[in-house]
Structures are given as structure tokens and as C-alpha cells.
């Protein structure tokens, strides 16, 4: 086995172990309900995000559903078409489990689209940025599907590292940095590519929540990329890594990232528009968010529930104008 293969296999083993780690019963149950909703085309359900990080099923749980094709997954032909144009489609679902209300915001994406979006050739970070974080695989259809997810998420981490190390400052092509500095700059860059400004405190918290894990996967990815010839020189020091890359290559990588950032921001607007058609019954979701922010139970009249865009504005508008709220697609998932 070559050094390149050795480090990729080590990264693959870390990802495989994470995907198999058990989750809370409520999370597993909700993943089953989501899979049932989309039929036999479901290859597997990925669970990630803030609720996984905090080991809770309160709040909005983040899932992605990977399917074989859109035609058999979506009952509405228009939803299938929208998913082809700008995957994933984002949906909202509430279900009662043992006296509790479980809430989820989940994406549906085709297997081929998911695979392409984890590769270095992808022109936006939307997929590989999310699945660099810890993830669990639920409702996996068979062993071949499990191998697909292990390979794809391993590749996502390698893509993340190989794409974003160029964002670090250099001196004549020499980059010397801690893994903590790498992750924080990378998180900052990918949030920015989706028009999602995050505070420095939030970014630090995201890394600090599982710093040892992030460092392990990043170091294996850097070693794999080094063995692949990505860097001219690479060395590991007690408190830092050092990489030497030609200034010309760094300029190329940074130019490519600037183009990716612009394209990602454009796609983000398209996804936001699309989500208004796919999100479903968003009124319970908005009411729940209002209650979380105000601490008060919000009750709409029957007329306001049935026609929220006409009669619900006196209650809904104050929420939408709060600076702290994001679009439904990104609500509740400080996930990278």
C-alpha cells in the first residue's frame, strides 16, 4: 500500500466509524419516517448538524436524504424538476414521538448529484462543506450504499482541505499554521460563500466542540494530499503544520475559490427561491421559532393559519425582520 493510499484508508476508517455510531432513539425513528416519505429510492439518510453536536433531539434536526432518482421520489413533477436544477430540495416535517414534537429540516438530493458535489471538480462547496463535520448514516439500504457514503464523505473531507488551505496567509508560498487556524478560516470562508455571516465566537465553538476529531481527519487529509503531490513540501511540527506551495499555484487556487464563492452565492439565491415552493407547511415552523425567540406561546386564528400570507403578517413580520433569523433553508443548522 502506498503512503497516499495508507492515509486515505486511515481517513476512510475514521469516517466509517463515525457513520456507524448509534444515535438517540428519537433521531433514528424520525429518520425512518423521512425515508418512508420518499419510498424505495432512498439509499440512506444522513444526520448531522447542531443537534448531533449537542446530543439532543430538541430544536430542528438536520438530515439529508440521498435517493436514486427524483421521479420516483417526488409525488409532484415540479418538485422533481426543481431538484434537478438546484439540488437539494429542502422540506420541513413535524412528527410526535412519545409525547414530544420532533422537528426536522431535511434535504433531498440524487445519488449522482451528491457524488459529484463531494469531488474537487465541484464548483460550489454546498455539499462537501457540510459533510466535513461528524455525520451519522441511518436507514442505509445495503452494503453497497454504505460503501458509497463512506467513500463520498471521505472524499468530501479531502476536497474541503485541498480546496481551502489556500485561504491561509503565506510568506512566499510557505504556509505555517495550526489545525485550529485552518478549520476556523475554512469555516469562515464556507459560511461566507452562502451569505451566512457567523460570529468568531460561533466559529470557535463549532471547532472546539470536537477539536480532536477535526484535527485527526484534517491531518490524515493533509498527509494524503501531500503523498498525492499536492504540495511541494510538507512537515508536521508540535504546534503547527508547514506547507510549501509555489506562489503561482496558490494564486490559481485562490482565483478558483473566488469564482466558486461567486457561483455559490448565486446558487444560494436560487435555492432560497426554490425553498419557498418545497418547504411545505412553514407556519408551524415559524410559530415555533417565534416562541423560541420570545418565550411566549403564539396562537394564530384559523383564518391566519389558512391564509398566513394575507392575514398573518401582524404576527409573522416582526420575526422575519429580526436580524438573527436566516432563511428556512439555513435555519437551525449552524452545521459546519
Domain ranges of the chain: 3-278
Instruction: Using alpha carbons only, give the angle 63, 266, 260 rounded to the nearest 5 degrees.
Output: 85
| Residue 312 pLDDT exceeds 70 | no
To the nearest whole percent, how much of the chain has pLDDT over 90? Answer: 58
> How high does pLDDT run on average in the chain?
85
pLDDT in the model for residue 324: 42
Note the pLDDT tens digit of each residue in 144-185.
Answer: 999 999 999 999 999 999 999 999 999 999 999 999 999 999
Q: What CATH class is the domain 3-278?
A: alpha beta
Instruction: Kindly tell me if the per-residue pLDDT of 292 is higher than 70.
Output: no
pLDDT at 76 over 90: no
- Which pLDDT value is given to residue 136? 98
pLDDT band at 72 (very low <50, low <70, confident <90, very high): confident
- Cα–Cα separations (whole angstroms), residue 134 to 157, 217, 256: 10, 10, 27
Amino acid at each position: 500500500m502506498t503512503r497516499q493510499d495508507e492515509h486515505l484508508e486511515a481517513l476512510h476508517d475514521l469516517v466509517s466509524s463515525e457513520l456507524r455510531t448509534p444515535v438517540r432513539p428519537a433521531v433514528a425513528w424520525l429518520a425512518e419516517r423521512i425515508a418512508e416519505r420518499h419510498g424505495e429510492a432512498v439509499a440512506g439518510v444522513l444526520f448531522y448538524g447542531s443537534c448531533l453536536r449537542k446530543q439532543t433531539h430538541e430544536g430542528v434536526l438536520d438530515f439529508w436524504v440521498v435517493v436514486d432518482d427524483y421521479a420516483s421520489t417526488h409525488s409532484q413533477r415540479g418538485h422533481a424538476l426543481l431538484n434537478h436544477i438546484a439540488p437539494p430540495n429542502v422540506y420541513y416535517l413535524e412528527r410526535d414521538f412519545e409525547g414530544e414534537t420532533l422537528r426536522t429540516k431535511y434535504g433531498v438530493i440524487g445519488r449522482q448529484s451528491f457524488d459529484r458535489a463531494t469531488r474537487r471538480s465541484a464548483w460550489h462547496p454546498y455539499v462537501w462543506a457540510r459533510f466535513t463535520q461528524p455525520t451519522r448514516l441511518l436507514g442505509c439500504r445495503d452494503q453497497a450504499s454504505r460503501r458509497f457514503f463512506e467513500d463520498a464523505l471521505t472524499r468530501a473531507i479531502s476536497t474541503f482541505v485541498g480546496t481551502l488551505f489556500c485561504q491561509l496567509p503565506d510568506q512566499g508560498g510557505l504556509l505555517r499554521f495550526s489545525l485550529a487556524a485552518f478549520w476556523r478560516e475554512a469555516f469562515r470562508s464556507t459560511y461566507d460563500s452562502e451569505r451566512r455571516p457567523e460570529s468568531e465566537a460561533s466559529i470557535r465553538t463549532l471547532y472546539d466542540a470536537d477539536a480532536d476529531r477535526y484535527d485527526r481527519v484534517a491531518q490524515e487529509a493533509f498527509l494524503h494530499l501531500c503523498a498525492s503531490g499536492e504540495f511541494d513540501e510538507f512537515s508536521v511540527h508540535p504546534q503547527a503544520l508547514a506547507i510549501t506551495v509555489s506562489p503561482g499555484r496558490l494564486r490559481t487556487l485562490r482565483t478558483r475559490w473566488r469564482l466558486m464563492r461567486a457561483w455559490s452565492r448565486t446558487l444560494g439565491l436560487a435555492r432560497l427561491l426554490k425553498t419557498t415552493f418545497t418547504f411545505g407547511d412553514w407556519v408551524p415552523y415559524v410559530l415555533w421559532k417565534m416562541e423560541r425567540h420570545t418565550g411566549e406561546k403564539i396562537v394564530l386564528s384559523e383564518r391566519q393559519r389558512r391564509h398566513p400570507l394575507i392575514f398573518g403578517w401582524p404576527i409573522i413580520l416582526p420575526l422575519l425582520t429580526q436580524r438573527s433569523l436566516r432563511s428556512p433553508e439555513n435555519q437551525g443548522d449552524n452545521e459546519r
